[in-house]
Amino acid sequence: MSTLFACEDPSTWRMVYEKYWDVVEAKTKSKKPGKLLSLDKWYQEELPTLILSRPEKHVTQTELVKLMEWKLTRGKFRPRLQQLVASNSVDTVEKCSRKAFSLLPDVQASISELSALKGVGPATASAVLAAGAPEQTAFMSDEAMESVPGLKPIQYTAKHYALYLGKMVERTEKLNKVDTLQDWTPHRLELCLWAMNIAEQQRLPLLKDVDVKTSSVTDKCSDADADQRPAKKLKTR
């Protein structure tokens, strides 16, 4: 498990953040050529702009299908989820996602609303919300969840997402208190944790010079989590 989450030094987090696209490019080489990079550029840059340009925030059915493709390419591939998401009607997706964004800052209510869509669980719902409200939410990626102490065994439930997001928001607030730029969001933290986790998994040299100075949180939590494995119960994420 990465020790980055317990780090209290914003400059260290920023070093990781600045290497995010380098890690994506490196990971892209192990996937279908060019697919991850183009999908991630779309999710991180184009989709947020589209959502924010609308009078009422929402995603279209086509965007939800592409978001699922991004999610499965960036993480673990589960082909049935792609089929289920594609079976949602255009009207249902727009109506449901519009209501979900309107329910913020009640994140749990928003997650519940989006989870009514076929093929959408808390993780996919969190990806939708993070694209349109990065200052309030973070994507529930496997890599980020595995990097946050005290969350194992991982469960893909709304309750577990609440635990994860609570820790992400708390760390975000602490970083912003000591960083003059004050530009940290839960979404940005997820990018950093994902990048660090992937770099460690694939033994990429990109982040080998990052000196992670941690608090005592890591020592208290990592031992208890080390030998546990994620739960595999839910069909949708």
pLDDT given for residue 234 in this prediction: 38
pLDDT given for residue 202 in this prediction: 85
- Considering all CA atoms of the chain, what is the largest pairwise distance in Å, rounded to the nearest integer? 49
How far apart CA 52 and CA 219 sit, in angstroms, is 41
Look up residue 103 and give its amino acid: L
pLDDT given for residue 24 in this prediction: 94
How far apart CA 141 and CA 31 sit, in angstroms, is 17
How far apart CA 51 and CA 37 sit, in angstroms, is 20
Three state DSSP letters for 70-130:
HHHHHCCCCHHHHHHHHCCCHHHHHHHHHHHHHHCCCHHHHHHHHCCCCCCCHHHHHHHHH
Contact of 212 with 7, CB cutoff 8 Å: yes
Contact of 59 with 128, CB cutoff 8 Å: yes
Tens-digit pLDDT string for the chain (237 aa): 568 999 999 999 999 999 999 999 998 887 665 689 999 999 999 999 999 999 999 999 999 999 999 999 998 777 788 899 999 999 999 999 999 999 999 999 999 999 999 999 999 999 999 999 999 999 999 999 999 999 989 999 999 999 999 999 999 999 999 999 999 999 999 999 999 999 998 888 877 767 666 543 333 333 333 333 333 333 455
Reported pTM = 0.87
